[in-house]
Amino acid sequence: MKFSEYKYVRPNIEEYKRLVGEQLDLIATGKTSEVEIKAIKEIHKLDDELSSMFTISSIRNSVDTKDEFYEQEQAFADENMPHIQAIGNEFTNKLLASENRDDLVKEFGELIFLQAEVAKKTFKPEIIEDLQLENKLSTEYVKLTSSAEIEFEGKTYNLSQMSPFTQSTDRNTRRKATLAISKFFNDNIESYDRIYDELVKVRDVIAKKLGYENFVQLGYDRLGRTDYNKDDVFNYRKQIFTEVVPYVEELVKRKAKRLNIQNPQSFDLSLSFLSGNPTPKGDRAWQVERAIEMYDEMSSETSEFFKFMINNELLELDSKPGKSGGGYCTFIPKYNAPFIFANFNGTSHDVDVLTHEAGHAFQIYQSRNLIPEYRWPTMEAAEIHSMSMEFLAWPWIDKFFKEDTDKYKFNHLAEAVTFLPYGALVDHFQHEVYENPTMTPEERRLKWRELEKAYLPFKKYDEDEFLENGGFWFRQGHIFDGPFYYIDYTLAQVSAFQYWHESQVNYKKAWESYLSLCKQGGSKSFVELIEFAKLDNPFKDGTIKKIMEPIKAYLNNIDDQKL
């Protein structure tokens, strides 16, 4: 069944409440474990139906943010999700109160209870209106950013479509494109400031109503982090600052030399080679054909998975007016179907996002039959699958890039390393914001620029006042609608680097480990998953230094001046 044929019906929330309520009455009320297990499975079915409708609606809304019907349905979801969360909280409380916990652990595993204990702390009925406001503000941010219509060289583009101009080999084109993007954000600075200011304040209110000191720990608990805390993350960021920032400075100097630029500005950093960045040698349809070939050859599991995606039209890849920016993978339980959303723009990002989101989709396709709580891992573990798939695609990457293959590999690895300080910066900034929620918008921008100079000391904005005044983070959607999520990408990147190294030494061994990790889904916590896969723990001192050694050896052994 194709995605276009998936039927959307607005969920009947009252009926859902009634049916779930009947099952909740059977849990923690002295019934046998068999009765409770059956009730939990019935709740899972009801949740899957509801989730499917909300997900279909959300996808169609992001494909066309101007579609009034699905805009209204998204508003309906924003309004009702806190009520659904209230029911989920009741389920959590029932689960924890069951006298049959040992039998339930045998059936569902221990992690569901650990996560329930964390989730229990994140909700009370009195925060429903605050959650509704938070949802509306997040949606407002997405809509504002998706509304970008940037006039450039006689045509109109959205933010994604501007990317090729920011990577132009012509320096003046890069400069003008970057300034045009900054102008859009600066023209809307009051709206972005207001949205984020209200988000910070409402999240602080929610945290304090729930008994937290501030939003920081609540943010961690919302993400289901059960085996590390902000002190672990602080130590991890410190390793990045010590081991990675100096090497990234070296990479930037090498880039400036390749580009023959004496005083590189921020707008120069999107270009990697004077001969042009590596680009896929065909359009979206051609790239999908190459992906079919790649996944056919990679393994029987990837072949089956990708054919399922193609045959059911579960890839939405074209960039178009009114479409939400970015890329994501989601899952529609009713059809056991992952869905990949992206915005192709003719740059190497097309291949990166396709392999990245395919990694997410492959993981959940492998764990689709687990209970809903275990289909996805927590965010940082989920990103291991996506980022590792980018590297596991390397043996086939010449299919996409042909004569640009060597350039792509060098650039892909170098840019992945360069990303680590930026990811740490985004996380550090959010800790500052939520530990000091009374900061003014101006103070936040100053704080961003202060931290940016520490983590990304090579960024110069001589001509771009908006960025010089600390406005870059406006374009980072995670800061608005996924607080504290972004460090997850870096944690996963550190794990993915280990798969990259192993795949260089023994591809078969790397693939078998990756496949077994995908099948685990979210049945283990983040640290347990990396221990299962025999990956080094990024929170432990020395890990970042260790993983950087083979990366430095690979990149330093390439004469990038010839690329």
pLDDT digits (tens, 9 = 90+) for 74-85: 999 999 999 999
Tell me how far CA of residue 326 lies from CA of 10, 97, 158, 410, in angstroms: 26, 41, 11, 24
Domain extent listing, the chain: 3-108
pLDDT at 104: 97
Query: What's the CA gap between 527 and 114, in Å, rounded?
Result: 14
Query: What's the CA gap between 155 and 151, in Å, rounded?
Result: 6
- Both tokens of 206, joined, read 């929610």
For the chain, the average pLDDT equals 96
Once rounded to an integer, what is the mean pLDDT over residues 191-211?
Answer: 98
Query: What's the CA gap between 432 and 446, in Å, rounded?
Result: 12
Pairing of strands 315-318, 337-344: parallel
- Both tokens of 36, joined, read 């409770």
DSSP letter string, 349-373: HHHHHHHHHHHHHHHHHHTTTS-HH
Q: How confident is the model over 368-382, as pLDDT tens digits?
A: 999 999 999 998 999
Residue labelled with tokens 């990790």: 517
Q: How confident is the model over 270-325, as pLDDT tens digits?
A: 999 999 999 999 999 999 999 999 999 999 999 999 999 999 999 999 999 899 98
Query: What's the CA gap between 525 and 379, in Å, rounded?
Result: 10
Once rounded to an integer, what is the mean pLDDT over residues 104-125?
Answer: 94
Q: How confident is the model at residue 208 (pLDDT cuts 50, 70, 90)?
A: very high
Quote helix, strand, coil % in the chain, to nearest 5: 70, 5, 25
- Amino acid found at 437: P
Query: What's the CA gap between 314 and 51, in Å, rounded?
Result: 17
Percent pLDDT > 90 in the chain is 97
Q: How confident is the model at residue 326 (pLDDT cuts 50, 70, 90)?
A: confident
Residue closest to 242 by CA, chosen among 555, 489, 553, 548: 548
Residue closest to 364 by CA, chosen among 446, 309, 296: 309
pLDDT at 325: 85
3-state SS assignment for residue 532: helix
Helices within 188-282 (DSSP H only): 189-209, 215-222, 230-243, 245-259
pLDDT at 174: 96
Query: What's the CA gap between 310 and 292, in Å, rounded?
Result: 9
Give me Rg for the CA atoms of the chain: 23
Q: How confident is the model over 225-257, as pLDDT tens digits?
A: 989 999 999 999 999 999 999 999 999 999 999
pLDDT at 160: 87
How many residues appear in the chain?
563
Residue closest to 526 by CA, chosen among 426, 368, 385: 385
Question: What's this model's pTM, rounded to 2 decimal places?
Answer: 0.90
pLDDT at 8: 98
Residue closest to 543 by CA, chosen among 249, 252, 237, 246: 237
Query: What's the CA gap between 375 and 370, in Å, rounded?
Result: 6
- Amino acid found at 343: N
Tell me how far CA of residue 231 lies from CA of 190, 203, 236, 425, 484, in angstroms: 34, 21, 9, 16, 14
Residue closest to 430 by CA, chosen among 132, 278, 203: 203
Residue closest to 486 by CA, chosen among 530, 442, 424: 424
Q: Are 518 and 533 in contact (CB under 8 A)?
A: no
Output the furthest CA–CA distance in the chain (Å, rounded). Answer: 75
Q: Are 434 and 214 in contact (CB under 8 A)?
A: yes
Residue closest to 23 by CA, chosen among 13, 10, 37, 12: 37
Residue 333 DSSP code: G
Q: Which helix (H) or strand (E) holds 328?
A: strand 328-332
- Which pairs with CB-CB distance under 8 Å and at least 24 residues apart come from 249-255? 249/457, 249/458, 251/414, 251/417, 251/418, 251/555, 252/418, 252/458, 254/560
Query: What's the CA gap between 41 and 25, in Å, rounded?
Result: 14
Phi-psi region at 331: left, alpha or beta (left = phi > 0; alpha = psi -120 to 50): beta
Q: Are 235 and 539 in contact (CB under 8 A)?
A: yes
Task: Give the number of other CB atoms < 10 A from CB of residue 129.
Answer: 11
Exposure letters 271-282 (e unless 16+ CB within 10 A, then b)? bbbeeebbbbeb
